[in-house]
Amino acid sequence: MLLDSDESQLVLVDYQIRLMPAMLDGRGVIDNAIRLARLAALLHVPVFVTEQNPSKLGASVPDLGDALKLAGARLLGKMQFSAVEEGLGEWLRPPAKPVQGNARSLPKHLQKPAPDASERGTIVLAGCEAHVCLLQTALDLLEDEFDVWVVTDACSSRTERNRDAAFDRLAGAGAELVTTEMVAFEWIRGAEHPAFKEMQSLIK
Is 21 contained in some domain?
yes
Higher pLDDT, 113 or 22: 22
150: left (phi over 0), alpha (psi -120 to 50) or beta: beta
**Residue 104: band (very low, low, confident or very high) from pLDDT cuts 50, 70, 90:** low
**Residue 116: band (very low, low, confident or very high) from pLDDT cuts 50, 70, 90:** low
**Residue 134: band (very low, low, confident or very high) from pLDDT cuts 50, 70, 90:** very high
pTM above 0.85, yes or no: yes
What CATH number corresponds to the domain at position 172? 3.40.50.850
Q: How many domains, the chain?
A: 1
Is 162 contained in some domain?
yes
**Residue 11: band (very low, low, confident or very high) from pLDDT cuts 50, 70, 90:** very high
Residues whose CB is less than 8 angstroms from the CB of residue 65 and which lie 6 or more positions away in sequence, other chains included = 59
What is the residue range of 122's domain? 5-93+117-203
Report the alpha-carbon distance of residue 87 to residue 147 in Å, rounded. 17
Is 98 contained in some domain?
no
Report the alpha-carbon distance of residue 18 to residue 16 in Å, rounded. 6
Is 103 contained in some domain?
no
Q: What pLDDT shows up at residue 195?
A: 84
Q: What pLDDT shows up at residue 98?
A: 58
Is 99 contained in some domain?
no
- Average pLDDT, whole number, for the chain? 91
Is 78 contained in some domain?
yes
Is 62 contained in some domain?
yes
Q: What is the mean pLDDT of residues 109-125?
A: 68
pLDDT digits (tens, 9 = 90+) for 78-103: 999 999 999 999 999 987 665 555 55
